[in-house]
Structures are given as structure tokens and as C-alpha cells.
């Protein structure tokens, strides 16, 4: 059962028709894969043509990460990469065998996931990172995933049903209830998983070096770590095959017995190091970044930089 906050007014919704997820699942089940891929490519062109705001944000991001203006074909490729990742999530939700393989320096992540120790798991809207929930849910640990409830989040609903009682959702649409829900989750001995790249629902923002500028990122996960004395580990998952991902992770950040300021100073180094890893993954393949929103805004560098 999901731990929800009350939502006032109509919830936000994902773009596209309300029947879109059902149509994709049925077409994927009925059509040969080459025919379905052609259909998906044509549908992606329709999405590019109709989603002007997301098209603009995609073009802005691709131009920054690649260092040259992005064309319409680049934007289509970005949208199509997202659609392929969405289809993988839908296929896994109906039973497709799926494997997360260990990437470089991911031993701390593997060990923490396999342990019974409650932790804060952070990731970004990057590659196959949404599917890390399947990896967490397959171990004997309870995980509360912080997400925004949208009107047509059928992919999240399917994943939640597939994972059964191991994963519970905390919806951020009502910020006033979020801290109480987190407190209840932590006190129950569960872990918490959250995305750490979008600014919308975070009150704790800090600037870090990313894609050629000092940009704002949510820093809430570290404040929660210090408040609840929980370790933080950040991870990202990228495609390595049709149904296989490669997990990249940070070392474990553990709040120590020092002051809050000293722990936050260590946390800033920890987050910046992981951002450098993420930037490397994006320089290698820019089409892995699935934030079709304004790129994290730059802030002026301090005078001594």
C-alpha cells in the first residue's frame, strides 16, 4: 500500500494520451519486434512535433553537453532513447528477465544493497536508473521510493505491483507531509530511494560543477542522512544490452560524530565526485539524460574560483 499525502486539485500528468501506455504494451505484445520498432520511431516523431517545450529543453541540453547546436534529428534520437528505456521498464514489469551488472567501483553499492542496513539511495533521471528499484526490491529489504504522483503514471504503477510489498511509494505532491512520511519510513527500519537531480520539490539546493557551469542541484538527501544518521550511496544505471544494465555508484557517505557543518562539507565533496562520474557518462553518450526540463540553472561562481 502506497504511503500518500493528500493532493489538492488535479494532479499533474505525463505527456501523451491517457491510452498511450496500454496501446504500447498491447502493440509490443502483438507485433514482431522490427515492426514495433518502426511504429515506435514514427510515434517518436509525433512526440517531437507535438511537445514543443520538451523539444526545446532537449535541444538546449544536447547543445550544452555536445558543445555544438543540436538539430531536430538529435532531438528525435534523444526522445527515442527515452522511449526505448520506457519500453524496457514495461517489458520488465510483465516478466522480461532483467539483469543489473556491476560497473567499475560498484562494490560498495552491491554490498549495501545485499545487506540489511537501512540507507538512503540516490539516483538521477539517467539511463536505466528507474529500474534500480527492481534490484532493490529483489533483496529482502523494504524500500520507500520518493516520487511525484502523476495522473497517468502507469509505468510506476506496474513496477509497484511487480515488486509487491518490498517497495512502497511516498508521493511528494504535498511537501508538508513528506518529512513525516520519511520519519515513519526510517523509524520502521526501511530504506529510502530518491532522485537527486530535479529542483521542483527540494528546499535544500546547492551549486556544483556540472556541464561547464556551477549549477543548482537538490542536496536534501544529505540533510536527511545527517538528521536520521543513515548512509547515502548514489548510483546510476546505463544500458549494456537489450535487457541488461551496468550500475555505476559512489562510495558510501556516512555521517560521522562531527558537526553538521563538517558533515555537510564532506557531503559536498561526495556529491561533486558523483556528478563528475555522471558527466563522464553523459559525455560518452548524451542521449542517456532523461530530464526533458530546463537544464539545472547556473549560478555565479564565487570570486576565488
Q: Is residue 3 part of a domain?
A: no
pLDDT at 6: 35
Q: Is residue 69 part of a domain?
A: no
Long-range contacts of 202-211 (CB under 8 A, 24+ apart): 203/175, 206/268, 206/271, 207/299, 208/268, 208/271, 208/272, 208/275, 209/272, 209/275, 209/276, 210/275, 210/278, 210/279, 210/296, 211/64, 211/65, 211/279, 211/282, 211/295
d(CA 289, CA 126): 5
Q: Which domain holds residue 108?
A: 100-288
Cell numbers found for residue 107: 562494490
Q: Is residue 216 part of a domain?
A: yes
Query: Are 167 and 156 in contact, with CB atoms under 8 Å apart?
Result: no
Element (H, E) at 171: strand 167-171
Q: Is residue 270 part of a domain?
A: yes
Q: Is residue 46 part of a domain?
A: no
Element (H, E) at 259: none
Q: Is residue 172 part of a domain?
A: yes
Structural domains of the chain, count: 1
Q: Is residue 83 part of a domain?
A: no
> Would strands 191-195 and 143-147 be described as parallel, antiparallel, or unpaired?
parallel
pLDDT 10s digit of each residue in the chain, 305 long?
A: 233 333 344 455 556 666 677 788 889 999 999 999 999 999 999 999 999 999 999 999 999 999 999 999 999 999 999 999 989 988 887 778 888 887 877 888 888 888 888 999 999 999 998 777 666 766 667 888 887 766 555 555 555 555 556 777 777 666 566 777 778 888 888 888 889 998 876 678 999 999 999 999 999 999 999 999 999 999 999 988 888 889 899 999 999 988 999 999 999 999 999 999 999 999 999 999 999 999 999 998 665 55
Q: Is residue 194 part of a domain?
A: yes
Cell numbers found for residue 37: 520498432
Query: Are 132 and 247 in contact, with CB atoms under 8 Å apart?
Result: yes
Maximal C-alpha separation, the chain: 61
Amino acid at each position: 500500500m502506497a504511503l500518500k499525502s493528500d493532493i489538492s486539485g488535479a494532479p499533474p500528468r505525463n505527456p501523451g494520451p491517457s491510452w498511450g501506455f496500454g496501446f504500447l504494451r498491447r502493440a509490443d505484445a502483438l507485433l514482431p519486434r522490427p515492426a514495433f520498432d518502426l511504429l515506435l520511431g514514427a510515434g517518436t516523431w509525433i512526440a517531437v512535433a507535438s511537445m514543443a517545450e520538451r523539444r526545446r529543453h532537449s535541444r538546449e541540453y544536447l547543445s550544452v553537453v555536445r558543445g555544438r547546436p543540436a538539430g531536430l534529428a538529435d532531438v528525435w534520437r534523444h526522445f527515442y532513447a527515452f522511449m526505448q528505456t520506457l519500453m524496457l521498464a514495461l517489458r520488465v514489469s510483465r516478466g522480461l528477465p532483467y539483469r543489473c551488472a556491476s560497473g567499475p567501483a560498484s562494490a560498495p553499492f552491491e554490498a549495501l544493497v545485499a545487506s540489511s542496513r537501512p540507507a538512503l539511495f540516490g539516483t538521477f533521471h539517467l539511463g536505466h536508473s528507474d529500474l534500480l528499484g527492481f534490484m532493490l526490491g529483489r533483496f529482502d529489504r523494504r524500500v520507500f521510493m520518493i516520487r511525484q504522483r502523476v495522473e497517468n503514471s502507469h509505468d510506476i504503477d506496474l513496477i509497484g505491483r511487480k515488486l509487491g510489498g518490498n517497495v512502497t511509494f511516498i508521493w511528494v505532491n504535498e511537501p508538508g507531509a513528506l518529512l513525516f512520511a520519511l520519519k515513519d519510513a526510517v523509524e520502521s527500519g526501511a530504506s529510502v530511494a530518491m532522485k537527486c537531480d530535479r529542483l521542483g520539490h527540494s528546499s535544500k539546493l546547492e551549486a556544483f560543477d556540472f556541464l561547464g557551469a556551477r549549477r543548482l542541484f537538490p542536496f536534501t538527501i544529505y540533510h536527511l542522512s545527517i538528521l536520521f544518521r543513515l548512509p547515502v550511496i548514489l548510483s546510476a544505471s546505463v544500458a549494456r544490452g537489450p535487457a541488461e544494465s551496468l550500475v555505476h555508484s559512489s562510495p558510501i557517505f556516512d555521517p560521522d560524530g562531527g558537526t553538521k557543518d563538517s558533515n555537510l562539507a564532506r557531503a559536498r565533496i561526495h556529491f561533486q565526485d558523483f556528478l563528475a562520474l555522471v558527466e563522464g557518462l553523459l559525455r560518452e553518450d548524451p542521449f542517456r539524460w532523461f530530464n526533458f526540463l530546463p537544464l539545472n540553472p547556473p549560478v555565479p561562481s564565487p570570486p576565488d574560483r
